[in-house]
């Protein structure tokens, strides 16, 4: 496992707002890795920083250290398809996530892993999409 490859956003930006934003990403999926469903311990850039990926919600997904380190700088979808825990519903969820459709992403994740993710309220998610700057509000999503 290459934990040194994991991206901890506090290291990139110590602002509290970013910390909250990071937490909100984990909370969104019930603190589970978007790839394999294990506990998420890091934020993975779908498009790696080294390939010009940005630290924005649409490019940052909750991931366990194992997936994050293993994926490294590979294209997320190419890498994910090769994993034995590959689940097409999760792949679709990642697509939806990077398209900014968090509501669809959570639905797909819920489908793939019904026990982990609380039933998100559509209204709250929709409200979030109108105010992406405020990570604090997003934290209520999975509450």
User: Interface residues with Zn ion (CB under 5 A)?
Assistant: 33, 35-36, 38, 64, 67
Using CA atoms, how far apart are residues 62 and 73, in angstroms rounded to an integer? Answer: 16
Q: Which is nearer to Zn ion, 38 or 121 (CB)?
A: 38
Min dist CB 64 to Zn ion, Å, is 4
Using CA atoms, how far apart are residues 116 and 87, in angstroms rounded to an integer? Answer: 16
Q: Which is nearer to Zn ion, 64 or 141 (CB)?
A: 64
> What is the CB neighbour count within 10 angstroms for residue 107?
20
Min dist CB 62 to Zn ion, Å, is 9
Min dist CB 26 to Zn ion, Å, is 13
> What sections of 13-134 are H helices per DSSP?
16-28, 65-71, 76-81, 88-98, 102-112, 122-130
Q: Which is nearer to Zn ion, 76 or 128 (CB)?
A: 76
If DSSP codes are grouped into helix, strand and coil, which group holds residue 81? helix
Min dist CB 96 to Zn ion, Å, is 18
Q: Which is nearer to Zn ion, 59 or 128 (CB)?
A: 59
């Amino acid at each position: 496992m290459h934990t040194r490859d994991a991206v901890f956003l506090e290291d990139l930006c110590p602002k509290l707002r970013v910390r909250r934003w990071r937490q909100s990403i984990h909370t969104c999926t019930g603190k589970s890795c978007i790839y394999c469903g294990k506990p998420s311990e890091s934020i993975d850039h779908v498009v790696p920083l080294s390939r010009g990926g940005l630290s924005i919600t649409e490019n940052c997904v909750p991931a366990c250290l194992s997936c994050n380190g293993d994926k490294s700088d590979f294209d997320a979808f190419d890498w994910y398809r090769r994993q034995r825990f590959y689940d097409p519903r999760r792949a679709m969820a990642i697509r939806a996530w990077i398209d900014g459709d968090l509501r669809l992403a959570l639905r797909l994740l819920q489908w793939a892993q019904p026990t982990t993710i609380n039933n998100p309220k559509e209204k709250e998610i929709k409200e979030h999409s109108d105010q992406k700057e405020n990570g604090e509000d997003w934290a209520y999503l999975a509450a």
